[in-house]
Amino acid sequence: MNALKWVRGVNGTLGWFAPQLVASKMRLAFMTPRTRPPRDWELPLLANSERITLRFGLSALRWGQGPAVLLMHGWEGRPTQFASLITALVEAGYSVVALDGPAHGRSPGREANVVLFARAMLEAAAELPPLRAVIGHSMGGASAMLAVQLGLRTETLVTIAAPARILGVLRGFARYVRLPPKARSAFIRQVENDVGMRATTLDVAHYQLDMPGLIVHADDDDFVLAKESQLIHEAWFDSRLLRLEAGGHQRVLADPRVIDGVLSLLAGRSLQSRQSA
């Protein structure tokens, strides 16, 4: 029996009798990221980076000179996953700062969540020049939209494969690990207590996004479904929606159409790739 089957079996049995205990263990699992080393194709960019330390020990990598662009990776991600986009931004004359999220890479912490990621972006922005753009992938994209609600200032914003609603993410995880109803409710309440916000408020439908933006999603993303991008687009008046037929959850980061879309947004040009109105 593999580990996931064992966890699901325990949750499906013990979760009926001790929902708080099971919820607590799943909350810890949900908020504790694993360390994933960079792939070989990321190493050249890593070698050419400058490691910087921001306030509260937050770690980041920096490349290039020019108007500042802030990048935030997703859950269990790394700055160098943006390698193709970072290279293109530097060649176009931008300075790129890519964060190690809380409890990721060299940044401090043992647990992470969307609110901690958002606050880390605010802390980083306080030490950087005015931001030309903020770009977030997956949970980093959700965190970027939340950070704007908390006061982050940027001229433009890009989300890639980002969820629109955190409650949907929590419910999806609870189903994945087979939590019974009472344990599922307890899990969501415990997460809310940790992050200090109700999950229902962490929803793009309640946000005010008043800067130009680009929303990117691949139709074959089986980690964050593409329908989330439509919800973000509907809530964000000044946004472009770039839906790609293929690219999954990770490969989309290196798609030339995504890179062109980002550079076009920053330059104020119209998007040439497939765009949903």
Mean pLDDT by 10 residues, the chain (277 residues): 83 90 96 94 96 95 97 98 98 98 96 97 96 98 98 98 97 96 97 95 96 98 97 97 97 98 89 45
Which range marks the domain in which residue 82 is found?
57-165+211-277
Residues 186 and 253 in one domain: no
Residues 217 and 153 in one domain: yes
The predicted structure's pLDDT at residue 271: 56
Domains held by the chain: number: 2
Residues 128 and 79 in one domain: yes
Per the listing, tokens 């810890």 go with 28
The predicted structure's pLDDT at residue 270: 59
The predicted structure's pLDDT at residue 89: 98
Residues 133 and 21 in one domain: no
H or E element at residue 183 = helix 181-195
* Rounded CA separation 157/265 (Å): 9
End position of a domain, from candidates 179, 201, 223? 201
62 phi/psi in degrees, rounded to 5: -135, 145
- 3-state SS of 36-96 is CCCCHHHHHHHHCCEEEECHHHCEEEEECCCCEEEEECCCCCCHHHHHHHHHHHHHCCCEE
Residues 238 and 161 in one domain: yes
* Rounded CA separation 31/29 (Å): 6
Count CB atoms within 10 A of the CB of residue 277. Answer: 5
* Rounded CA separation 247/3 (Å): 29
**Do the domain assignments include residue 52?**
no
Q: pTM for this structure?
A: 0.94
**By C-alpha distance, which of 175, 172, 192, 187 is closest to 12?**
175
Residues 154 and 220 in one domain: yes
Residues 90 and 174 in one domain: no
Residues 263 and 132 in one domain: yes
Residues 224 and 197 in one domain: no
Residues 10 and 111 in one domain: no
The predicted structure's pLDDT at residue 138: 98
Residues 267 and 152 in one domain: yes
**Cβ-proximal residues to 63 (8 Å cutoff; 6+ apart), any chain:** 45, 48, 49, 50, 86, 90, 95, 96
Residues 192 and 136 in one domain: no
Per the listing, tokens 């293929």 go with 246
**CATH number of 219's domain:** 3.40.50.1820
**3-state secondary structure (DSSP) of residue 254:** helix
